[in-house]
Amino acid sequence: MPNEYVLGVDGGGTWTRCVIMRTDGTIVGTGRAGPSNPITIGVEDSLNNIIEAVENAREASGVEVFQSSVLGLAGASRSRLGDKLLSRFPAFFGVTRIVSDARSALAGATGCKPGVVVIAGTGSIAYGVNENNEEAKAGGWGWRLGDDGSGYTIGNNAVIAALRAHDQSGPNTVLREMLLAHLGLDKYDEIIDWTYNHQREPRHFASLVPLVKEAEIQGDLVAAQIMMDAGTQLATVTQAVINRLKLAGDFPVACSGGVFKQPNRYNVAFEETVREIAPSCDFIEPFFSPTIGSAFLALQSLGVDIGDELLSNARMSLEGLG
């Protein structure tokens, strides 16, 4: 199948990214657009952003038709909105599936091998597969129902902590001043309008994570506690997946998403809590992104084996694309 191509898409609460991959693993084009979680932004905007990202990749690669497409979309695999999206994709997508963003993340992180992936971006989820190909996931219920340890949760808790400091009902924190300056507000009463604006989305709260990390670096105890609590919460979600799959030994745990990017108390609390039940697990950097993981899943649907040569082709072509 030398001239056949697949499409891999990863869509979350902040960005949509896609890759076009040849059946030998070579990546020939990439694209990016805005968020595509249909639960938070609706089917129409989700579809438009997916199409925009894919059109960017098609233009860059010259590839017009895909044999198979897999889209890892936050929330969509657990919602009827996923079916609505599937019915709207153009014919050039080929045979198309929507899976959870966590499934795509694990496929990319381990090269389609068993293990656990934990995503901490705008939302959060833990997902794993064992040697018997049994799968389990925990979390990922969306910002209204949980998303423990997510960027949204951290940002929302930072706003609450700043408000409590302002009211003097909670400990003082540098977040009080930093938050107003960051949002361009003059006084705390304006937080109400900012928060309850009908255009406010979870990603806007998640965008406050770097602010909390900066406060932590400055030695702010409230910010440090917010990060530690979030790391512990997500680790508890991860423990549930490990227990359900009966994983033991040195299985990989891949940490994905922007919240993990800068080492801090979040990471420490997360790893220490996970090791309470899995002391020998191997925390790894993902081999590839969830976007490429989606493409791997699309290849598998065609019967392509995700072997060492294919992984090498993906790695080299990715470096070539920069």
Which pLDDT belongs to residue 78?
63
The rounded distance, in Å, linking the Cα atoms of 121 and 163 is 24
**Mean pLDDT of the region 32-38:** 92
Q: What is the mean pLDDT of the chain?
A: 93
Q: What is the pLDDT of residues 152-168, one digit of tens each?
A: 999 999 999 999 999 99
| Helix (H) or strand (E) run with residue 120 in it | strand 115-120
Tell me the percentage of the chain whose pLDDT exceeds 90.
80
Res 315 pLDDT > 50: yes
| Helix (H) or strand (E) run with residue 204 in it | helix 202-206
Q: Which domains does the chain have, with CATH numbers?
A: 5-111+287-321 (3.30.420.40), 151-284 (3.30.420.40)
Which pLDDT belongs to residue 201?
87
Q: pLDDT grade, residue 82 (50/70/90)? A: confident
The rounded distance, in Å, linking the Cα atoms of 309 and 315 is 10
Side-chain half-sphere exposure of 89, counting CA atoms within 13 A: 24
**Mean pLDDT of the region 74-80:** 71
Res 96 pLDDT > 70: yes
Q: What is the pLDDT of residues 126-156, one digit of tens each?
A: 999 999 999 999 998 888 887 899 999 999 9
Res 261 pLDDT > 70: yes
Rg (CA), the chain: 20
CA distances to 186, 227, 272 from 117, rounded to whole Å, are 41, 20, 16
Say how many C-beta atoms besides its own lie within 10 A of residue 301's C-beta. Answer: 17
Res 2 pLDDT > 60: no
Res 5 pLDDT > 90: yes
Which tokens is 229 given? 């609590």
**293 closest CA partner among 67, 99, 109:** 109
Amino acid at 129: V
The rounded distance, in Å, linking the Cα atoms of 302 and 240 is 32
Res 3 pLDDT > 70: no
**Mean pLDDT of the region 216-244:** 97
Which tokens is 318 given? 């990715």
Which pLDDT belongs to residue 291?
96
Which pLDDT belongs to residue 53?
97
The pair phi, psi for residue 31, each rounded to 5°, is -150, 160
Which tokens is 168 given? 């003097």
DSSP character at residue 145: T
Q: pLDDT grade, residue 311 (50/70/90)? A: very high
Which pLDDT belongs to residue 225?
97
**49 closest CA partner among 71, 26, 20:** 71
**Can you give the pTM of this predicted structure?**
0.82
Cβ neighbours for 47, distance < 8 A, ≥ 6 positions apart: 36, 85, 88, 89
Which tokens is 316 given? 């080299």
Res 1 pLDDT > 60: no
